[in-house]
Amino acid sequence: MSSTHHDVIVIGGGQAGLAIAYYLRRAGLSFVILDAGEGPGGAWVHTWSSLHLFSPAAFSSLPGWPMPVGDTGAFPTRDEVIAYLTRYEQRYGFAIERPCIVEAVEPAPAGLQVRLTSGRRVTGRTVVSATGTWSAPLIPAYPEQGLFRGTQLHSAFYRNSEPFRGQRVLVIGGGNSGAQIFAELSLVAIATWVTIQDPTFLPDDVDGRVLFERASARVRGEIGAAGFGDIVMVPPVKEARDRGILQTVRPFERFTPDGVIWPDGATAPVDAVIWCTGFRPATAHLQPLGCVGPEGRVDVVDQRAVTQPRLWLAGYGDWTGAASATLIGAGRTARELVPRIIDALAAEDRAGTV
């Protein structure tokens, strides 16, 4: 077993981790990024092939280097994002170790210790957890769900529509992922889009910048949560609307072995269900610190864990910074977070605690 000590350990090499690394590098702090992936791209490498960003490239960039405008114009594709993140790493030469699977973060005499599944231990004065949510998909419990013999797949593991060609598919979830996946499946399958209520769609000329500004206003307490789920009219969703199929139905009552039963008692055969029902924070590695709540959240103030002041969190959603799970939000969150880390470390130095 080997051990290495740094000022900051960043867990997660996706967009949040890279944005934090940019500012840590500028500050001259010693740091390392521990990433579970086989290569660059973070959660983007696990998304479906046809995914489009909600915002133009100019508004979907990490600090220091704008995302190039790709061939698809206004809304970059998944592959364009992965290529950008790959070049971003190369451009700045961050110290990234992968694949590194973090088993636990634990207290240590000089800060915190990160224990890897390989048995190696890395210690740091402070840790930033930026593992996101992709590895913690949420599938709600449904009556008789275990009886269903068809395919059940969370959007985290959906890649393309081809395996569902000709099948009867329910797409469950009223957010942007549900809209995009339903639009794609409707071209090759008998697809039905199930949502709790009718989704609302942003005008064609409005994009994810509006969602970011809404998230920022909500964090500032200026607006409530309502309306943040509005769907951006990226090209696949526009095309589905133009075909006249962009409608939803209300949830079914329960599963049967071969399908579902709707509220009016009608039964319907179903071959597959795609759950576009969101994620929880991937924070199981923080459990030894005793700060993780039942839904995976950690109580934070300005991204700093309340009960573990050497621990910081970024990229999990609005509770760790306005729109911090988006490219533009990751950069702005990092710009605010890193100076706080610097101040905290300086305060320790002045107090002689390290």
250-309 tens-digit pLDDT: 999 999 999 999 999 999 999 999 999 999 999 999 999 999 998 999 999 999 999 999
Query: Which has the higher per-residue pLDDT, 81 or 228?
Result: 81
Confidence of residue 232 (pLDDT cuts 50, 70, 90): confident
The pLDDT score that the predictor gives to residue 34 is: 98
Task: Tell me how far apart the alpha carbons of residues 252 and 273 are, in angstroms, rounded to a whole number.
Answer: 12
Kindly report the pTM of this predicted structure: 0.87
> Angle 333-5-95 (CA atoms, 0-180°, nearest 5)?
55
How is domain 145-275 classified at the architecture level of CATH? 3-Layer(bba) Sandwich (3.50)
Higher pLDDT, 233 or 197: 197
| pLDDT score of 60 | 82
Q: H or E stretch including 65?
A: none
pLDDT 10s digits, 181-227:
999 999 999 999 999 999 988 887 766 566 556 555 554 554 444 34
Domain extent listing, the chain: 3-134+280-351, 145-275
Q: What's the pLDDT score for residue 204?
A: 78
Look up the CATH number of domain 3-134+280-351: 3.50.50.60
d(CA 180, CA 165): 16
Q: What percent of the chain is predicted at pLDDT more than 70?
A: 90
Q: Give the pLDDT confidence score for residue 219 in this predicted structure.
A: 46
Q: Minimum mean pLDDT among 45-49, 89-93, 274-278: which range?
A: 45-49
Give mean pLDDT, residues 163-187.
96
Largest CA distance in the chain: 71
Is the per-residue pLDDT at 125 higher than 50? Answer: yes
Among residues of the chain, what percentage have pLDDT more than 90? 73
- Which pLDDT belongs to residue 59? 76
Please write the tens of the pLDDT for every residue from 53-82. Answer: 877 777 788 999 998 876 555 678 899 999
Tell the burial category of 290 from Cβ atoms under 10 Å away from its Cβ (0-12, 13-18, 19+).
Answer: exposed
CA–chain centroid gap for 339, Å, is 24
How many angstroms separate the CA atoms of 228 and 218, rounded? 9
Q: Three-state SS for 54? A: coil
Residues 233-251 have a mean pLDDT of 93
Token duo for residue 31? 């740091």
Bridge pairing between strands 168-172 and 272-275: parallel
